[in-house]
Each structure stands twice: as structure tokens, then as C-alpha cells.
Homo-oligomer: A and B are copies of this chain.
Amino acid sequence: MDQDRSRLNLEEPRRVTIREVARAAGVSVSTASKALNEQGRMSPETRDRVRQIARDVGFRPNAVARALVGKRSFTLGLITNDTYGRFTLPVAAGLASAMASKGVSVFLCAVDDDPARVRLSIEAMEDKRVDGLVIAGKRIDRAPPLENRRPAMPVVYANAATPPEGVGFVPDDKRGGALAARHLLSLGRRRLAHISGPEDFAAVALRAAGWCQVLRDAGLEPYGKSLHGSWSEAFGYETGLFLRERLGTERYPDAVFCGNDQIARGLIDALQVRQIRVPEDIAVVGYDNWDIFARATRPPLTTIDMALTRLGECAGLTLLDMIAGKAVEPGLRKLPCHLVMRQSCGGEQIGDAT
């Protein structure tokens, strides 16, 4: 056993405790604690001496002990049903990195959509006394199945359905749709078609609503039927092969706004087969700014970015406020999207904003 440990360099380092710091400084443990935490009044000399010695011996307070006495663990849980990761990944990255700079660590709980795993995760987070929970999803009208469990700590929702009295953050999809419309109008396009994902997604309706409203404000109607299918290249491709037939229009549209980048890519590939030029004949705007797609499309895709990393940051910072007892209004926060220009719309290329 000792052999094994040494073979793997596992010798437990006997970590230095505050007691040893206190003794080395010739003060009591409580004085050492106060010096280290800048609490209460004390002579600058002893405070500095304690801190210097702590630094010298490499003292680092045991966060577990601190959590036990302080009722704060400086720890958060992230519960997500998006194991596929398209959405949670940027959210998690933004959250973890914003929290790291506040000294807060984040537990990752991947739960699929299994209520039993959700329950287990929440219990684990409760047992470990996390200060708060971020509940993240892959669509804004669903959430991991919490059933009726109300977690014993503050909760913030991120890119997921938020209950009436909860606090949640989602991308402003309506504004995203409006951005796409305004951009295409500004380029002089007038026959504006829309192809999107399944109708039962709230995001689909919101993006379409923002899109339509801008068109109507400009005195236009959406060009042709609005088309719905899976969030896949296959749907975009198959639609692109028979675009006029599907839209029920005589002419081709001169612009298409697609509900995500995959649909946009499939569409563009099919238009190429049909010898239709993008952006000359048809301008295309995608949605998601999923790099790996948007950049690889020929031509590279102009698309809407939902700023999910920022969403993760905001969710975390708000959760920290709630944990600190600050007043936080319940409700849904819609975070701004932005347009990333590449080459699928022509027009001025202001460069790649990513």
C-alpha cells in the first residue's frame, strides 16, 4: 500500500492548518483567523505577521471546514438535460469561468431527461450544500423534469422553461428574428422566405414573430408559406431542392432566413446543386452561429448568435446575488442576440464578429 502510494506519487501531503500558522505566529487560532479574514480590529503588526507567516508556510484554508461553519460552500450545481451539448456547453463554459473568478466552483450534473437522475442530482447537490443551482436546458419551453421537488437553495434557469415565480435567462429569439429581417431588408431584398424547425418549439414561433413583424412594418408579407421540419441539414437540403414548390411561389425568394445553421447549410448545398447562387440570387441567414457549421458552409454563413456564453455568465452572477440575499425580481430575462456577418448575404462585410 505504501509502495503503491509512492509508485504513484500519492503521498498524502500533510496540509498546513490554521493552528500551525497560529503557533508559528505566536497567537491564538482565533486571532489567526481574524487576521487572515480581515475581520475585527487588531494591531497591524500582528495581522501582518500572521499573514506573512501564512504565506510563507503556504497556508490555504480548508474550504470544507469553512463551508461547515459558514453555511456557504462557494459551490454551485449545474443541472442540464442537454447531454448532446450544443447549448449547455457554451452556457457551462460561461458559467464556470465567470464563477471561477469569484472563487465559486460548479458541479456538472448531466441528467438526460430521466426524472430519477434529476432527483438524484438535486439530492446530491443538497447534500453537498451547494449555494445555488443553475438549471439548463436545450430549449426554452422545456426544462429538466424536476417534478414537484423544490430544491432547498436558490435556483436560476438558463435556456430552459422557467416557472412563473422563478428567475430565468433565455436568448431573445423574437429580436433575433427581427435582426435577420432588418439585415435582409437593408440589403434590398424583398421576397423574404422563412424555413424553420418543428412548429411546437417556442423558439420557432418567437423567431417567426420577430421576423414577420419587421416585414409587416416594412409593408411586406412573408414570401410563400413558412416551412417547418426537423432541425437538420437533411430538411434544409430537401427543401432547397424544391424550394418554389415547397413555398408555393412562382418565383424564387431573394432571401431565406433559416431557423438554424444546419437547415441553412442544407439549403445552401441544395441551391448549389440547382445552380442557384448564394448570395447573388438568394441571400441566406442562419441561426445559432455554430462555428463549425457557419464557417464551413460555402459561402460562410451570416447568422444570429444567441450569446449563450454570456447567458451562462449572467445566470451565474444573478444566482450569486440571490445567494447573497439581494432582491432579485422574479421573471424571464431575454438576453440580446446579435448578427454575425459572413458571406451568405453579400452586402458590406464588416468582418467576422466572432
Contact = CB atoms under 8 A, between A and B. Distances in A.
Interface in A224-248: 232-234, 237
Interface in A90-117: 92-93, 96-97, 100, 103, 105-110, 117
A124 B103 contact: yes
Nearest to A132: B10
A75 B130 CA distance: 12
B9 A64 contact: no
B63 A127 contact: yes
Contacts of A68: 62, 64-65, 68
Nearest to A60: B127
A216 interface: no
A325 interface: yes
A2 B324 CA distance: 13
30 contacts: A1-B325, A4-B325, A7-B330, A8-B330, A9-B165, A60-B126, A60-B127, A61-B127, A62-B127, A63-B128, A64-B67, A64-B128, A75-B128, A78-B108, A83-B93, A85-B89, A96-B108, A96-B109, A97-B110, A100-B109, A100-B121, A100-B124, A105-B107, A105-B125, A105-B128, A106-B107, A106-B108, A232-B296, A233-B296, A237-B298
Interface string A180-218: 000000000000000000000000000000000000000
A181 to B, nearest CB: 27
When all copies of this chain in the complex are counted, the total is 2
Given A78-B108, A265-B296, 18 more contacts: A4-B325, A4-B326, A7-B165, A7-B330, A63-B129, A65-B68, A75-B128, A89-B89, A96-B109, A97-B110, A97-B117, A100-B120, A103-B124, A105-B124, A106-B107, A107-B108, A262-B292, A266-B296
A8 B162 CA distance: 13
Interface residues of A, number: 68
Interface of A: 1, 4-5, 7-10, 12-13, 15, 60-65, 67-68, 73, 75, 78, 83, 85, 89, 92-93, 96-97, 100, 103, 105-110, 117, 120-121, 123-129, 150, 152, 154, 165, 167, 232-234, 237, 262, 265-266, 269, 292, 296, 298, 322, 325-328, 330
